[in-house]
Amino acid sequence: MRFLPATLLTLAAVISSGCAGMPDKDQLWSRSSAFFTQSSDMIAAQSRRLADFAGGLVGSNDQALLQQEVDELFAQPYIDPLTLYIEEHSADDRRAKQLALVAQERDQRCGGIAQTYAKRDATQDHLQRMQRGYLRSCPEDVQDFAARVTQSRVTPSAVAQSPAAAQVRSEPAPAIAADFSAAVDEAVSRRQNSNCYLLFTIKNYTQAHSACRPIADSGDAKAQHHMASLERTRGDFPAAFAWAGRSAGQQHAPGQLVLGQLYQAGQGTAVDKTKALQLMRQAANQGLTEASYYTGLAYKDGAGVSQSVSQADKYLKQAASQGHMPAHLALASLYEQRQPDTARHWLNQAARKGSAEAQLKLANDYASSASNTSDQEEAYVWYSLALLNGNSQAKAGIERQEKLLSEDQLATARSRIQDGINGKWN
């Protein structure tokens, strides 16, 4: 069984009970054995409560808004809004959890429609009704019903005359109109593309590989990028290089980024950091956040180009402005020696957005450069938030800083910890 650190549980209890429930600082670290002897149910309950408290550190407010979107989708009875949501957000990693839920709900609703129409006569009228209502979201089911209509050979009047007449083959039902067949084929193709993108985003890589291969073969640049990423993950670098080349050849920014990374690492091709930077910069100039980040790193480290603080700053800030956490950390590293105050600013930005790494680094920065009690308190706050956010290395810092603060200062710091968890930054 994996127990939570006693420190973590203590801080969670402090936060939930307020300052009045805080233990004396001499007692804070002396109760380890008591926590480890609690029942597994008690520890699990503490863990769940802590997750609720610490959720604010990793974007729980954003997740709550995303979940609200899904709840509203599920509250309405139609299927197409679910499909539109999937198509619009299929590449949004932040919505991976929600996309999986919406896809499951869409498929369940389509299954219900298929069951309903399975009980109906295979007539042109029913087919037209099904097409009007469900072609976009359930094209395979419409396609299956259309096949039933096409295969229908016995007229209702013949069946009504006698059982024997039911065996008499009438004239075939009218062929499905060409424009209808084209509409079905287009809807099926759109659904297959959507499935490829969705499976990749929710990291169902095994099924994504099968779903994306025919789409990529047909020339879809996005699917080709997915195939490149999947093959790279599998370790088949020549295949990854080939797919990335096809995607990048269509000026698809994610494909350009992957191809650049392959050149940079010498995977599936010879190392060529100049070519790598060229491709990544092209992708960055199209607005791809990850590409801006890696381009900035190349200029920062002098990979394939002379080091340039100004260019590194430009591209890293492009990524940071779009909420890219590693870009904040890279900017802090860029200015750590040159401009410590600027470096601290970027650490602070990342720490407030929930980076446990930034929280620990910010705490270390305050602790090492402390010129007054306020800095010592600041270090204690960030060590505590880093620990609550899962960084166990922060425990030693908390123990050290705690000895430097008075009871009143600890009370103030713990109040700020609670505010930070709730996203209430001063």
pLDDT at residue 177 above 90? Answer: no
pLDDT value at position 156?
54
Task: Give the C-alpha separation, 416 to 173, whole Å.
Answer: 75
User: What is the b/e burial string over 73-106, where b = at least 16 CB atoms within 10 angstroms of the residue's CB?
Assistant: beeeeebebbbebbeebbeeeebbebbbbbbebb
Burial of 377 (0-12, 13-18, 19+ CB in 10 A): buried
**pLDDT classification of 308: cutoffs 50, 70, 90:** very high
Percent above pLDDT 70 for the chain: 79
> Of 71-80, 290-299, 347-356, which gets the smallest average pLDDT?
347-356
HEC sequence for 63-101 = HHHHHHHHHHHHHCCCCHHHHHHHHHHCCCHHHHHHHHH
Task: Give the C-alpha separation, 252 to 190, whole Å.
Answer: 19
**Model's pTM, two decimal places?**
0.76
Residues 27-77: pLDDT tens digits?
Answer: 544 432 332 233 334 333 433 443 444 444 444 467 788 999 999 999 999
pLDDT value at position 189?
93
pLDDT value at position 176?
61
What is the phi-psi region of residue 323: left when phi exceeds 0, alpha when psi lies from -120 to 50, beta otherwise? left
If you average pLDDT over residues 243-261, what whole number do you get?
98
pLDDT value at position 276?
98
pLDDT at residue 14 above 80? Answer: no
Judge contact between 211 and 188, C-beta under 8 A: no
| Residue 36 neighbours by CB under 8 Å, 6+ apart | 3, 6
Judge contact between 70 and 102, C-beta under 8 A: yes
**pLDDT classification of 373: cutoffs 50, 70, 90:** confident
Task: Give the C-alpha separation, 159 to 166, whole Å.
Answer: 5
pLDDT at residue 268 above 70? Answer: yes
Residues 331-353: pLDDT tens digits?
Answer: 999 999 999 999 999 999 999 98
CA angle 34, 39, 44 (to 5 degrees): 105
CB-hemisphere CA count at 13 Å for 218? Answer: 13
Which has the higher per-residue pLDDT, 316 or 419?
316
pLDDT value at position 61?
60
If you average pLDDT over residues 284-301, what whole number do you get?
97
pLDDT value at position 353?
86
pLDDT at residue 395 above 50? Answer: yes
* Alpha-carbon dihedral 317, 321, 323, 325, rounded to 10 degrees: 20
pLDDT at residue 162 above 90? Answer: no
Helix (H, G, I), strand (E, B) or coil at 60: helix
How many CB atoms sit inside 10 A of residue 264's CB? 22
CA angle 50, 55, 61 (to 5 degrees): 145
Which has the higher per-residue pLDDT, 190 or 23?
190
172 is written with which tokens?
Answer: 């075939």
pLDDT value at position 161?
52
If you average pLDDT over residues 375-402, what whole number do you get?
91
pLDDT at residue 15 above 80? Answer: no
pLDDT value at position 41?
42
pLDDT value at position 160?
52
pLDDT at residue 424 above 80? Answer: no
pLDDT at residue 172 above 70? Answer: no
pLDDT value at position 369?
83
* Alpha-carbon dihedral 320, 323, 326, 328, rounded to 10 degrees: 40
If you average pLDDT over residues 11-24, what whole number do you get?
46
If you average pLDDT over residues 238-263, what whole number do you get?
98
| Residue 62 neighbours by CB under 8 Å, 6+ apart | 94
Distances (CA, A) of 133 to 109, 126, 128, 136: 12, 11, 9, 8
> Of 162-166, 343-347, 410-414, which gets the smallest average pLDDT?
162-166
pLDDT value at position 179?
83
If you average pLDDT over residues 136-152, what whole number do you get?
93
Percent above pLDDT 90 for the chain: 66
Task: Give the C-alpha separation, 90 to 338, whole Å.
Answer: 41
If you average pLDDT over residues 411-424, what whole number do you get?
83
Q: DSSP labels for 324-343? A: -HHHHHHHHHHHTTT-HHHH
Distances (CA, A) of 99 to 21, 70, 85, 222: 41, 9, 8, 18
The per-residue pLDDT of the chain, averaged, comes to 83
